[in-house]
Amino acid sequence: MTDKQDACPTFIMDDLEYNYIKHQVLSLTGIDLNCYKAPQMQRRLKAYLPRVGFANWPKFFRFLRDTPAELGKFRDYLTINVSYFFRDAEKYKYLQNSILPDLLRRRSALRIWSAGCSHGQEAYSLFILLNEAKNFEYQHQILATDIDASALEWARAGGPYTLDEISNVSPDLRLRYFTVSQNKYWINEPVRQKVSFRQHNILADPIASKFDLVICRNVVIYFETEAKESLYKRLADAIRPGGILFVGGTEIVPRPMDIELEMINVSFYRRQEPGQPAKTARK
C-alpha cells in the first residue's frame, strides 16, 4: 500500500456490504474495522476474495467459521506486518545517543513496551541497543505486543528474518546476535528469552503498566482519526512522567500538550513531569 493510494479517499464498497463485513470480522476475529481507514481496508478486502477463490462474502465467512487455519490467514492479511530491524536508522541513532542515556540516568532498570511489534524486529532492535549500552548491566524489561497471534509466534521463534529485514544491522551486530541458516537470519536463543511477547489489541484491551518508553510505530497509520486520538491518550497515560513515546516516521501526535506530552524531536514525545512547564519542540 503506498502513501499515494492512501491519499485518495475513494470508497469502493457500498455501506451495506462494508457494514456486513465489519460485523462478521468483529465476531470472527475481534478486530473492529471501524477503527481502520475505510478506503484502504476496503481495497484490501476487495482484493482478498478472488485470491481465495470465493464469489461472495457470506460463503467466505461460512468457510472461515469451519476452517480455523484460514481464519488465521485472513486475520494476518488484515493486519499488515511489514517491519525490519532498526527501521529509520537515524531515529534509532537518536534513541541510542540521546533518549536512552537520558532514561538510564533516571532509572537503571527500564520498562519498555513495543506496541504493534509484528515479528519482533522492533523489540529485538531495542534489546540490542540496551545490551550494547556497556556502562549498564542489562536489567530491563521489554514487553512486545501485537493483535496478530501468528506474528507473535514468529517473533517468539526469533525468525526467520530476511537479509532485507536486517539490512540496517551492522556486520558486527549480525555476527553477535544472529545465526544464519539457508540465507535466513534467526535471533540467538538467549536474546529471545529477554523479550516477553503477548497478544494484545491496542484499541480495546486494557493497558495495566507504566512504562519508561513506549514504541508504537507504523501501527496508527491504518487507524481512523478518532481511534488514533483516543489511542494516543491511552498510550500517554501508560508512560511514566519523563518517559518517552516513540512513533513512526510519518506519524504526528495531534495536540500533544492536551495529553501531557511534549514533542522533543521528530517522532519523540516526552511525558510531562508534574508541575513542569511545557517546553517547545527542538527545531
Instruction: Please identify, using beta-carbon distances, which residue of 185 and 272 lies nearer to ligand SAM.
Output: 185
116/256 with CB nearer ligand SAM: 116
The one segment of 8-16, 50-58, 113-121, 130-138 that binds ligand SAM by CB under 6 A: 113-121
Assigned C-alpha cell, 108: 537503571
Beta strands at 239-247 and 184-187: parallel, antiparallel or unpaired: unpaired
For residue 8, give every residue at least 6 positions away whose Cβ sits within 8 Å of its Cβ, in sequence order, or none. 39
Per-residue burial over 21-59, b = 16 or more CB atoms within 10 Å of its CB, e = otherwise: bbebbeeebebebbbbbbbbbbbebeeeeeeeebeeeee
Binding string, residues 193-232; x marks residues near ligand SAM by CB under 6 A: --------xxx-------------xxx-------------
CB 117 within 8 A of CB 125: no
23: which residues sit within 8 A by CB, 6+ positions away? none
CB contact set of 95 (below 8 Å; sequence gap of 6+):
129, 246, 268
> Contact with ligand SAM (CB under 6 A): which of 40, 79, 125, 272?
79
- Supply the minimum distance, in Å, between the C-beta of residue 158 and ligand SAM: 16
Pick the closer one to ligand SAM by CB: 136 or 266. 266
The reply to whether 22 sits near ligand SAM by the rule CB under 6 A is no
Binding segment for ligand SAM (CB under 6 A), chosen from 54-62, 114-122, 156-164, 178-186, is 114-122
What are the residues binding ligand SAM (CB under 6 A)?
79-83, 87, 116-118, 122, 146-148, 151, 201-203, 217-219, 248
